[in-house]
A and B are shown apart, each in its own frame.
Chain A
Amino acid sequence: MKKFDKDRVLLGLAAPVLSVLGALIVTGLVLLASGKEPFHAFHVMLTYGSKSDSQVYILNKATPYYLSGLAVAIGFRMNLFNIGVDGQYRLAAFFAAAVGGSMSIPGIIQIPIIILTAMVVGAAWAAIAGVLKVTRGVSEVISTIMLNSIAGIVIGYFLQDGRLGVTDKLANTITTKPIPSGSHLFNFTTQTDPVVGFIVFAGLAGVVYWFVLSRTRFGFDLRSVGRSESAAQASGVSVKKMVIVSMLISGAMAGLVGMSTLLNQSYQFSTDFPAGIGFTGIAVALLGRNNPIGIAVGALLWAFLERASNGLEFEGYDKEIVGVIQGAIVLAVVIAYELVRRYGLARQQRQVGAELAAAGSDDKQEVTA
């Protein structure tokens, strides 16, 4: 923090800004090709997305996205691709909901129990992939994808009348027992809808993420493994242990993803519990460069785009255009980071080259003299 390298910060910002710009250009072209006027569409998105009720919606949506992004980013920092955040948070939310619905004790105790249950379940589910990786060499990409499906099946099995589910006659769905109102988490009331209270926990999780990774010995070890497994091992890090521990942490973080919905909004787990946030987290983590603030920006952007898609629909645009923007952003992110990385490298080369040239010309004088 003392040495605030302005160039490096600029370079760090360049990639996300470039990728969003690139995505807008691509989307504009798509809109043009489909015979629609792009600038009006962007205008609609901006005005609709910035209304006050939209703002609340965006914050509420961004909360799980942020946690999901953090969960993925923990893996990324170690070169692990945890695609299984999706299954982890859904399974975690389901069991947390079941535990919460079966108890009726003061919220001050019950809410932590629910959150803890979610974290433990998420961690345990992720740990399966970690154990498979270190003992059998199974790629975590494959195993977590599989575990996503299995998580769905497990939920389907338990979410039945007589097991952990109850039939909601009115809505004609099966849900877990609702969590008693005493254990509903606080909300922030606004002029429109309330903002979920869990956003505080999400922010806290971001701070913990930053602190653990960049300020602790454990975080240093984790980042070393991500940068070079062989060097980390030679430095005394047990890579296998690290894989398991980071999968546990990533899974525990994933367990938090569903909590804002569960404790602030739905109070029960039903078949229409939000799905796919784990995959959103991958995009958000990529966009945010695994940086806690970057991930927050990415999560907010993603939520904004989703909200804005509603606005587009009112104006006669296809709301799928937002999907195009999101896809283009992810692609552009990958490309832009590579471009910026190369530019940064070239810059470094020039610096070192310049120093060498200076040193070299001195040498020549020595020789010719």
Chain B
Amino acid sequence: MKSRCYARSVLPAAPSPSLPRYVRPPPPSAAPSEPRHRPEPFPRGECAINASTSPPAVELRGITKRFPGVVANHDIDITVRSGTVHALVGENGAGKSTLMKILYGMQKPDEGTIAIHGEPAVFGDPGDAIARGIGMVHQHFMLADNLTVLENVVLGSEKTYGIGGRARARIAEISDAYGLGVRPDVLVEDLGVADRQRVEILKVLYRGARILILDEPTAVLVPQEVDALFENLRGLKSEGLTVIFISHKLGEVLSVADEITVIRRGTTVGGADPKKTTARQLAELMVGSELPSPETRESTVTTEPMLTVQGLRMFETDSEGVERTVLDDIAFTIHKGEVLGIAGVEGNGQAELVEAVMGMRGLNAGVLTLDGKDITRTPTRGRREDGVGYIPEDRHRHGLLLEAPLWENRILGHVTERPNSRGFLIDPGAARRDTERIVEEYDVRTPGIEVPAASLSGGNQQKLIVGREMSHLPKLLIAAHPTRGVDVGAQAQIWDQIRAARREGLAVLLISADLDELIGLSDTLRVMYRGRLVADADPATITPQELGSAMTGAAAGHLAHQPEDPEAPGESGESGESGGEDR
């Protein structure tokens, strides 16, 4: 209702209702052949005129989707012009991914309309969307590791250009045209993350996509790879393709996007011109409030060790029977009041390290000491009772019972502790009361404590978990991506909680993909690469770029002793700034 007034003032107005519904649309091949390179400021009033001359590539009007567990979309209005990079920004959990699934035909909207190149479209499944020239590069790649690039590209689309020479020629053609540099005969399992992403992009282009959706494409990349990706995107744009770029990293968005639409809590709250907007303004639009910062500069590190890890090794036998070392000679100490951050590209042993410290997986070698007590042989429950708090990386798998009500989730992991139980009996009354307290104190937005955890959005689920873990006054907190998928308000609150507990002597093992969170929150930084701690760094001087290159294995040792050290103060200033940008 209010969206209409808002749409008029901020977003390009909807095309006139007299949009001819049965007029033949321009043939799909014709539309991109007239790329519109006119550098336009963010269209405001003139949009209606634009729409009548050359229809926008994508128009979403009044999209509403109700969906369990995730934020619902409601009254979404977006216009994406042809031949632009259009960024869709919003917090994780704001509803961006759901919206893109709707556009890609994976979800059906409950209300609202989609128009592609001015023609109304209804997508029953992704096949329909592909037929209309929409392609999606998923956040998690969908490639078969044991096939070559060529085979992966052709897979499922064998009829387009065959599977032989014609397909190879077409792949080479696309790769050259957009500067993707894809080698068709390499096995996908030998490719790095960035190369795999390019294969995904090529796959989509091969299927004739003229509108590309990239869902959080930078989440898995280190800064250098992000720059390369953006070059590719600019290449696509110059060829007249339309790119919809989903992200919550604002620095990146501002550097690559032509137009920006902000989504907050499931609805479009405004647009922005990347040339005139600062990251901070955009972030505030995205968050609806002032920005938090993860910076914690006053040191609370003591000399008393809380967790000591020595000679930790873990082997894993994969499905082919090959034994692999997933953790190799890990050693570190976290003192009381210290936050130890582990940086690393995902899949380099961080998850295994967490499971080792939690006691969820057996060690092949090594000693764990918590507050002077050897806990190497203590089972998970014993470690929890000894004061290990756990914010898991995958809250659905490890942190919650999705079908159970909130108050039972409050008990989970602390069933032997007060107020959840007395002796061998559960105390549902006390647990319920305490859940009410957590919901109140941690601002968990929920209709009540009897609803199943699945009906909460990701951020609220996370707040519940953080509240639960903090309620038992842990000595050591294992925080794996503690603010992933959490709105900024909750993010600030979680950071505050960690900082406050740290002042009380809490030791934190922090694992995060968000380098700014790592740098901002940690007292000590370690870099993990292929199961080893290969480098350490001082968060006061390190930049995300330096950390990024260590994460790819390019640097090792003590990173602050790099030749750039004298410049470090200046760079740390930059890092602080980008820290603001990226949220």
Write the residues of chain A forming the contact surface with B, with a CB cutoff of 8 angstroms: 2-3, 5, 8, 214-221, 223-224, 227-228, 230-238, 345, 348-353, 355-357, 359-361, 363-368
Contacts and interface: CB of A to CB of B under 8 A. Distances in A.
Interface residues of B, number: 62
Tell me which of B3, B421, B426, B452 has the highest count of chain A C-beta atoms within 10 A of its own C-beta.
B426
A355 B457 CA distance: 12
B66 A234 contact: no
Given A219-B426, A355-B447, A360 B74 contact: yes
Interface stretch (B208-216, B320-328, B396-404): B396-404
A231 B415 contact: no
Tell me which of B74, B412, B421 has the highest count of chain A C-beta atoms within 10 A of its own C-beta.
B412
Tell me which of B360, B401, B403 has the highest count of chain A C-beta atoms within 10 A of its own C-beta.
B401
A227 B402 CA distance: 8
Given A233-B380, A235-B412, A350 B66 contact: yes
B122 interface: no
A26 B210 CA distance: 52
A3 B401 contact: no
Tell me which of A3, A231, A363 has the highest count of chain B C-beta atoms within 10 A of its own C-beta.
A231
A359 B266 CA distance: 10
B411 A348 contact: no
A17 to B, nearest CB: 22
Interface string B8-32: 0110000000000000000000000
A89 B310 CA distance: 52
A220 B411 contact: yes
B451 interface: yes
A363 B265 contact: yes
Nearest to B447: A351
Contacts of A220: 408, 411, 415, 426
A217 B408 CA distance: 12
Contacts of A221: 415
A234 B398 CA distance: 6
Nearest to A347: B455
Given A224-B401, A353-B66, A367 B10 contact: yes
A360 B384 contact: no
Interface in B28-69: 66-68
Interface in B228-269: 264-267, 269
Contacts of A345: 68
A217 B426 contact: yes
Q: Which 3 residue pairs spanning A and B have beta carbons closest together? A: A236-B381, A235-B413, A234-B398
Contacts of A367: 6, 10, 269-270, 285, 288
A227 B74 contact: no
B426 A215 contact: yes
Given A227-B402, A361-B2, A364-B269, A217 B424 contact: yes
Contacts of B6: 364, 367-368
B269 A363 contact: yes
B265 A359 contact: yes
Nearest to B449: A3
5 contacts: A220-B411, A227-B404, A234-B397, A236-B384, A368-B6
Contact of A349 (B390, B445, B455): B455
Interface string B73-101: 01100000000000000000000000000
Interface in B355-375: 358, 360
Contacts of B304: none
A231 B265 contact: no
Given A217-B426, A364-B6, A366-B288, A352 B399 contact: no
Nearest to B9: A368
A291 to B, nearest CB: 15
B379 interface: yes
A352 B414 CA distance: 28
B425 interface: yes
B408 to A, nearest CB: 8
B430 interface: no
B400 A231 contact: yes
Contact of B380 (A236, A348, A356, A360): A236
Nearest to B390: A234
A48 B380 CA distance: 58
B72 interface: yes
B5 interface: yes
A307 B1 CA distance: 62
Nearest to A225: B401
A230 B426 contact: no
B74 A356 contact: yes
A217 B360 contact: no
Contacts of A365: 2
Contacts, number: 145
B66 A349 contact: yes
A353 B383 CA distance: 39
Contacts of B432: 3
B73 to A, nearest CB: 10
B430 to A, nearest CB: 12
A290 to B, nearest CB: 13
B158 interface: no
A361 B382 CA distance: 47
B392 interface: yes
B349 to A, nearest CB: 18
Given A227-B401, A367-B285, A352 B380 contact: no
Given A228-B397, A349-B455, A353-B66, A217 B415 contact: yes
B139 interface: no
Contacts of A5: 450
A360 B67 contact: no
A363 B287 CA distance: 10
Contacts of A348: 68, 451-452, 455
A217 B416 contact: yes
A352 B397 contact: no
Contacts of A214: 426
Nearest to B392: A234
Given A231-B412, A349-B66, A368 B426 contact: no
Contact of B267 (A215, A350, A352, A364): A364
B71 interface: yes
Given A214-B426, A233-B380, A236-B413, 18 more contacts: A5-B450, A215-B426, A220-B426, A227-B402, A231-B400, A234-B390, A235-B380, A236-B384, A238-B380, A355-B445, A357-B74, A360-B266, A363-B264, A363-B267, A364-B3, A364-B267, A367-B6, A367-B10
A217 B380 contact: no
Nearest to A1: B428
A10 to B, nearest CB: 15
A230 B380 CA distance: 13
A347 to B, nearest CB: 10
Nearest to A2: B429
B521 to A, nearest CB: 23
B110 to A, nearest CB: 9
B175 to A, nearest CB: 40
Contacts of A368: 2, 5-6, 9-10
A227 B396 CA distance: 11
Contacts of B412: 224, 231-232, 235
Contacts of B452: 348
A236 B379 contact: yes
B95 to A, nearest CB: 9
Interface in B377-393: 379-384, 390, 392
B265 A356 contact: yes
A228 B267 contact: no
Contacts of A363: 264-265, 267, 269, 288
A118 B68 CA distance: 46
A352 B71 CA distance: 9
A235 B380 CA distance: 7
B381 A231 contact: no
